[in-house]
Structure 1
Amino acid sequence: MSNIRITKQFNFETGHALYGYDGKCRNVHGHSYKLSVTVIGRPITDTTHVKLGMVIDFSDLKKIVKEEIVDQFDHATVFNKNTPHVELAKELTDRGHMVILADYQPTSENMVIDFSARIKSRLPENIQLHSLRLQETDTSFAEWYASDNPL
């Protein structure tokens, strides 16, 4: 049986600021992110299995990504936890806003690394994360590939 890749796409809105950056992105701003999640595995061949022919049910993959990424990051603001914006983050949180203080600079590159770990931890044993593509603007994106990141 062949390995098959399947991809599910997600959209979410997130704000961030890049602490110490020398351009406009040091200011708090937001993006309409598009995340493509590709997994690889073999379709189920057990004729008695309700998911016969599927690598993973798209709805199961959606549940994982929604819980780990979309529900956490959609309409949240992400700051590097070492930023001087910590006071702003506290005030926003106190006012009921969703704020994430990340252990990293919230660039698309670092976010996609974070997302890969979150998703991999939830996938069934027989399914591997193949790649992620996090599109920040119409012309800019970061990609993560399992083949580039061997254990």
Structure 2
Amino acid sequence: MIYLTRVENFNAAHKLSNPAWSDEQNVAVFGKCANVNWHGHNYELHVTVKGTPDKDTGFVFNAKTLGDLIKIHVIEKVDHRNLNMDVDFMKGKFTSAENLAIGIWDQLTPHLPEGVQLHCIKLYETPRIYVEYFGA
């Protein structure tokens, strides 16, 4: 089994806030991330697929094609957007990095060809904080 990772970047704003809680409780739990005027991140997205190299190309999957799929189905939807308000696949979801990674997985999975599996979504929210999702 060979693993191929493509790295992309995007910038997005969001707010972490539980509407069932008071402003004070949201700030106590989420700190600056509960800012009423939103806040942003420079995200780094690692998408890893796995499979067996094709006998004719030597590729598990064409890295340029993978990049195109990521750009069309994820980056164009999230880059310079408000995750809480503008992103269709995040509507009605808490916009944590964890949920965003799951949403990205769900966006990409249907577009991979037979024989290529999504292995991992690694999403850096900051240089020191990231999440990894390996599917349900």
What's the TM-score once normalised by structure 2's chain length?
Answer: 0.85
Q: What is the percentage of aligned positions where both structures have the same residue?
A: 33
- 1:125 is aligned with what amino acid? E
Moved over 6 A (4+): none
**SS of 2:75's equivalent?**
helix
Deviation at 1:38, TM superposition (A): 0.4
Deviations 1:64-88 (A, max 9, x none): 1101111110000111xxxxxxxxx
Query: Who is 2:43 aligned against?
Result: 33
Q: Find the aligned partners of 1:58 and 1:103 in 2 and give their Cα distance.
A: 32
Deviations 1:45-68 (A, max 9, x none): 13xxxxx10111101100111011
Pick the structure with more helix per residue.
2
* Larger Rg belongs to: 1
TM-align CA RMSD: 1.2
Q: Find the aligned partners of 1:38 and 1:103 in 2 and give their Cα distance.
A: 27
Deviation at 1:103, TM superposition (A): 2.3
Structure 2, unaligned stretches of length 5 or more? Answer: 19-25
* 10, 21, 32: which one aligns with 1:24: 32
Structure 1, unaligned stretches of length 5 or more? Answer: 47-51, 80-88, 90-98
Query: Who is 1:58 aligned against?
Result: 63
Q: Find the aligned partners of 1:119 and 1:6 in 2 and give their Cα distance.
A: 15
Query: Who is 1:49 aligned against?
Result: none
